[in-house]
Amino acid sequence: MSSGLVESSAPGKVILFGEHAVVYGQPAIAVPVSEVVATATVEPAPTGSGLTLVAADLGHRFTLSGAPRHDPLAVAARLTLDYLSASAPDATIIVRSSIPIAGGLGSGAAVSTALVRALASFIGHSLSRGEVSRLVFEVEKVHHGTPSGIDNTVIAYEQPVYFERGAPSGPERLSVAAPFTLLIIDSGLPSPTKQLVSRVRDRWLRDPEGSAALFRQIGDIAREARHHIETGAVDALGPLMDKNHTLLIELGVSSPTLNRLVDVARDAGASGAKLSGAGHGGSVVALIQAEKIDAAIASLRRAGAARVIHTTVE
Among 40, 81, 95, 150, binds ligand PMV (CB under 6 A): 150
Phi-psi region of 93 (alpha: psi -120 to 50; beta: other; left: phi over 0): beta
Count of positions (residues) in the chain: 314
Using the minimum distance from each CB to ligand PMV, give the nearer residue, 29 or 81. 29
Q: Contact between 147 and ligand PMV (CB under 6 A)?
A: yes
Q: How far apart are the first and last CA of the chain?
A: 37
Whether residue 68 contacts residue 74, with contact meaning beta carbons closer than 8 Å, is answered with yes
Q: Contact between 151 and ligand PMV (CB under 6 A)?
A: yes
Q: Contact between 131 and ligand PMV (CB under 6 A)?
A: no
Annotated active-site residue 151? The verdict is yes
Among 106, 160, 238, 272, binds ligand PMV (CB under 6 A): 106
Give me the least distance between CB of 301 and ligand PMV, in Å please: 23
What does 238-270 look like in DSSP terms, one character per residue? Answer: HHHHHHHHHHHHHHT---HHHHHHHHHHHHTT-
Q: Contact between 29 and ligand PMV (CB under 6 A)?
A: no
Among 148, 153, 181, 257, binds ligand PMV (CB under 6 A): 148
* Cα torsion angle, 167, 172, 178, 184, sign: positive
Among 8, 277, 308, 313, binds ligand PMV (CB under 6 A): 277
Q: Contact between 247 and ligand PMV (CB under 6 A)?
A: no
Among 193, 254, 255, 311, binds ligand PMV (CB under 6 A): 193
Q: Contact between 20 and ligand PMV (CB under 6 A)?
A: yes
Q: Which of 71, 82, 90, 151 is catalytic?
A: 151
Phi-psi region of 45 (alpha: psi -120 to 50; beta: other; left: phi over 0): beta
Alpha helices in the chain (DSSP H): 72-83, 107-122, 129-144, 150-157, 193-206, 208-231, 237-251, 256-267, 293-302
Q: Contact between 89 and ligand PMV (CB under 6 A)?
A: no
Q: Contact between 211 and ligand PMV (CB under 6 A)?
A: no
List active site positions: 151
